[in-house]
Amino acid sequence: MSSAGPTRTSDSLADVVEMLLDKGIVINADIVVSVGQTELLGIELRAAIASFETAAQYGLQFPEGTNMQRVEAASGRDQLPEAEEGPLAPVIDAADGSDAEETSEEDDGDADTEETNEENEGDDAEEAVEADGDTETTEATAEPEGDDADG
């Protein structure tokens, strides 16, 4: 009986993300000058978070047209389970996401100098992105080698 109540542990972060990005009242009233990009923001955030920490973990749907394999590779989720913070834009760019490519002009938000304690993790994430690039290069060159072996 004691365990019968609902929980809101760290596991339910997935619920928080999903609800906040997908649910709730959407206002589009003419009476206020709405910035009008709530939906766009939601999509971008979803892609960013999901590519970063894997979709499955957050229980997120990717926008249609997202190249899942690239996202999976780019998120490097096997290599860097710890790297929770860091620049997202390059990762998304690599993922060929049509929704996301406009957001990749800046590597780092210029407004966030306050978070000095997260720099290390950010570095980790950058390394992982680079590592991913290496992997793709390796794959690309693997085939010609195979041809050589045949011949």
Partner 1 sequence: MSAPAADPGTTVDDGRYLYCVVAVDEGEAGTDWTESNAVDDAEAYLVVADGIGAVVHRCERTPNPNDLSTVKRSLLRHQHVVDAAGDAFGTPLPLRFGTVVEGGDAAVREWLVETAATQRRHLDAFAGKWEYRIEVGWEEDALAETVEASDDRLAELAETLDDSSEGTSFLVQKQYDKRLSDLVYAEREERVAALAERLDPLVEEMEELGRPAVSLEDADGSDSGPSFRVAVLAPEENEIPIGDVLDEVKSNPETTDVQYTGPWPPYTFAPSLDDEESNDTGSGSADRGSEAGGR
| Beta carbon nearer to partner 1, 29 or 140 | 29
To partner 1, the closest distance from the beta carbon of 150 in angstroms equals 32
| Beta carbon nearer to partner 1, 78 or 139 | 78
Place of tokens 């229980």: 59
To partner 1, the closest distance from the beta carbon of 103 in angstroms equals 5
Contact at 8 Å (CB) between 65 and 91? Answer: no
Contact at 8 Å (CB) between 22 and 39? Answer: no
Give Cα separations from 106 to 26, 96, 101, 127, 130 (angstroms): 28, 16, 11, 17, 17
| Beta carbon nearer to partner 1, 36 or 151 | 36
To partner 1, the closest distance from the beta carbon of 138 in angstroms equals 20
